[in-house]
Structure 1
Amino acid sequence: MMLNSDGTKPIYIQIAEWLENEILSENILEDGKIYSQYQLADMFNINPATAAKGLNLLAEESILYKKRGLGMFVSTNAKEIILNKRKNQTLKNLVSEIVIEAERLKISEEELVKMIKEANRDRRSC
């Protein structure tokens, strides 16, 4: 993964999202040891403090937990927490933006639903 240092999203959030994606894709399993801040710093060529901030963010959200002297591990229900978080935050925000733009463009709710269904069919056929 490449981090976008020119973007508006802070690097520590990009690290946290990358780790979430690794958990969702089961590249890192529940109760599995997660990369240390120093490993992440080496992997992404970033400051260890930035990596630690991403790890701590996930710990605050109960996605990771600390074992004193051993490091950080993935919580048993991490996937569920991530899925709920993304559904309730990210997806709701995206849907809200789409609804607002549809209103600006005078697109009816029915037409918008039709567009979503078409996009879903197109995605499945790829």
Structure 2
Amino acid sequence: MILNSDSSKPIYVQISEWLENEIISGNFNSDDKVYSQYQLAELFNINPATAAKGLNILVDEQILYKKRGLGMFVAEGALARILDKRKNETLKELVNALVIEAKRLNVSEEELIKMIQETSRKRSEEE
């Protein structure tokens, strides 16, 4: 992943989301050690304090935990917490924006549902 310095999302948030994606992808499992703030800083060419802030977001959300002197590790149940968070926050925001835009464009609920179903079918065929 390449961090987007032009994004409205702060770099530390992008770091935390990148690590979440790594967990979702199965690259890190429960009790696996994750990158240190210095490794992340080197990997993404950012300040270690920025990387630490991204890690600490995940600690606060109980996705990662610290072992003093050893580093950061993936917490038990982290994957379920990430999926739940994204479903209940990210998807709801996207659906809300989609519904607002559909109303602006005078797209009926039925049309919108049909569009979603068609897109879902096409994505399934591509996979």
TM-score, normalising length from structure 1? 0.98
How far the C-alpha of 1:7 sits from its partner, in A, is 1.5
Distance 2:60 2:13 in 1: 13
Equivalent residue for 2:98? 98
**2:112 corresponds to which residue?**
112
Separation in 2, partners of 1:57, 1:67? 16
Q: Which residue of 1 aligns with 2:123?
A: 123
SS of structure 2 residue aligned to 1:57? helix
One-letter amino acid of the counterpart of residue 116, structure 2: I
Aligned residues: 126
Residue 71 of structure 1 deviates from its aligned partner by 0.9
Deviations 1:49-100 (A, max 9, x none): 0000000000000000011111110001000000000001000000000001
- CA shift, 1:30, in A, is 1.1
Residue in structure 1 matched with residue 33 of structure 2 by the alignment = 33
Shift of 1:6: 1.6
1:4 maps onto 2:4 in alignment: yes
Letter in 2 for 1:100: I
Other-structure match for 2:45? 45
User: What is the identity, as a one-letter code, of the residue corresponding to 1:37?
Assistant: Q
1:104 and 1:111 map into 2 onto residues whose CA distance is 14
Q: Quote the RMSD (CA, aligned, Å).
A: 0.6
**Partner amino acid for 1:26?**
G
Q: Distance in 2 between matches of 1:14 and 1:63?
A: 15
Taking structure 2 as the reference length, the TM-score comes to 0.97
How many angstroms apart in 2 are the aligned matches of 1:7 and 1:75?
29
Q: Which runs of 5+ in 1 are unaligned?
A: none
Q: Which residue of structure 1 lines up, in the alignment, with residue 79 of structure 2?
A: 79
